[in-house]
Amino acid sequence: MHTRRSSSVNPDPSPTGPGRQRTRRSSPRRTRTVGAFLAAASMIVSACTSGGSTNSGNPAAEAALAALAPLPRSTPAALAPYYGQKLTWRSCGTPGFQCSTIRAPLDYAKPDAGSIRLAVARKKATEPGERLGSLLVNPGGPGGSAVGYLQQYAGIGYPAEVRARYDMVAVDPRGVARSEPVECLDGRAMDRYTQTDFTPDDEKETEELVGAYKKFAEGCGADAAGVLRHLSTTETARDMDIVRAALGDRRLTYVGASYGTFLGATYAGLFPDRVGRLVLDGAMDPSLPARRMNLDQTAGFETAFQAFARDCVRHRDCPLGRKAADVGRNLKSFFAKLDAKPIPTGDPDGRMLGESLATTGVIAAMYDEGAWAQLRDALSAAMQEDDGAGLLVLSDSYYERDADGRYTNLMFANAAVNCLDLPAAFSTPDEVRRSLPAFEKASPVFGEGLAWATLNCAYWPVAPTGEPQRIEAKGAAPIVVVGTTRDPATPYRWAQALSRQLSSARLLTYEGDGHTAYGRGSACVDRTINAYLLRGTPPTRDKRC
């Protein structure tokens, strides 16, 4: 199970929707509705961070980390040609939306050594006379297409009053979707990769898993080894500032979900004087090393799963037992049966449902409680009728695989960014084995698979350039950090930690389930964020909804 850092759910409620965000009640993003937010797996991919430090929730340990240093306020002369660009808008095939491209330095240390082309899209404010500026949006991932998110959800699903006052804008980050995407495996090879046994039982299966990680990494390196060195979150944040300038905005107004919160916080740390109104929804903690991040996410999925278990047993069609305490054990037993003998799915390409694809399908549904009924149906069919089609649909939505067997580059970009941003959580299979007790304690159901998923960055073709760090953004305007108490992908404690780090943060807490909170059905959350975006009024400190 390939897990990503934390991506938001897909706004598209369709099981074949895009990505890894959570499913919203009335909106879609890659939100994690069943299909889009399969971010669960992404998280683990993002688990590629370093060693075993466990500073989450420890203010003294967090304080010991270096803080992200802001860049000089003046634009270096070497970057002036990039900052002087003008966007030329054209129709891009989706009614109401315009598209453009912009260039950014491939390497900010050598801006004259080559550039990378970024795709930009916008939907103009519906009341231009009352326009407040541009509102950039990012759905998370890393690897989620912001342009796709804008066209499929944000540009039509954000509150009408917000769309009236802002030009809605999205930029596909470098290496993602329309912005010179990283490609690693073709569809057939990716099918084989997603079916790899991520819970090896012996040395032979361990070697097969390591071989799969190496082949994945080699494919990415063969595609664009030079570009892989320059896909970091810091570089993408700097790209956003070039876009801000090209849009003519003095300050950046931005809503980022899941990994998009790390991107937004990084921007604030680099350019605190250019922060306008920033909403960081489903917040990440930038001070965490990879291993700690993965453990926290594993515990987050367990929290979400326990909420699902309590809900499941309230329904007569729950296939996992009549008591919530039995649900996890029964699911684990079912996974073991699939590990020994996969079941048919009716897939035209002949894919069977084994433990890995089934686990990914379950994790995908954890992003949004709106997907729980679909998960119950899928589990019932698989457990009672040996029909794995429903769980395969959920898994495919997580991996963004379409009916023709084609994958978006979500998982490729996810690994590329995660493995560059932080040192790998584990370097060898033996290190994973020694950590299994901690992961299985965090989640008896998902812990083993999520622990092994963190090994992928150990074989990455380029060395990491980032480290865990605090982000303070001293001098920035008020920033709204949003945390959901039972968020599976970005645990609530991360929102608390980020709000302590950012000097101007206001924490907005949503007491509920699912990944992220804005546009998911809470009138309190939506009203609070709308007031901030439209009137610049941040919530009172520690507001709860």
Q: Which residues are catalytic?
A: 258, 487, 515
Burial of 87 (0-12, 13-18, 19+ CB in 10 A): middle
Provide the pairing of β-strand 90-91 with 252-257. Answer: unpaired
Helix, strand, coil share of the chain (percent; to 5): 45, 15, 40
d(CA 138, CA 116) in angstroms, rounded, equals 19
Q: Phi and psi for 6 in degrees, rounded to 5?
A: -175, 115
CA distances from 139 to 2, 466, 487, 506 (A): 19, 22, 16, 21
What is the helix (H) or strand (E) element at residue 505, kind and residue range? strand 505-513
Contact in structure between 320 and 326 (CB atoms under 8 Å): yes
Cβ-based neighbours of 145, under 8 Å, separated by 6 or more: 18, 19, 30, 139, 172, 176, 177, 178, 408, 410
Phi-psi region of 346 (alpha: psi -120 to 50; beta: other; left: phi over 0): left
Strand partners, 168: 123, 135
Strand partners, 254: 136, 278
Contact in structure between 357 and 391 (CB atoms under 8 Å): yes
For residue 358, give the nearest of 187, 203, 214, 197 by alpha carbon.
197
The encoded tokens of residue 155 equal 């540009």
Q: How far apart are the first and last CA of the chain?
A: 34
Cβ-based neighbours of 471, under 8 Å, separated by 6 or more: 67, 68, 265, 266, 268, 269, 286, 498, 501, 502
Contact in structure between 447 and 441 (CB atoms under 8 Å): yes
Please identify which residue in the block is written with the tokens 């802002």: 166
Q: Phi and psi for 372 in degrees, rounded to 5?
A: -65, -35
Contact in structure between 425 and 294 (CB atoms under 8 Å): yes
Contact in structure between 45 and 5 (CB atoms under 8 Å): yes
86 C-beta neighbours (distance < 10 Å), count? 9
For 246-261, give the secondary structure using H, E and C: HHCCCCEEEEEECHHH
For residue 326, give the nearest of 309, 302, 347 by alpha carbon.
309
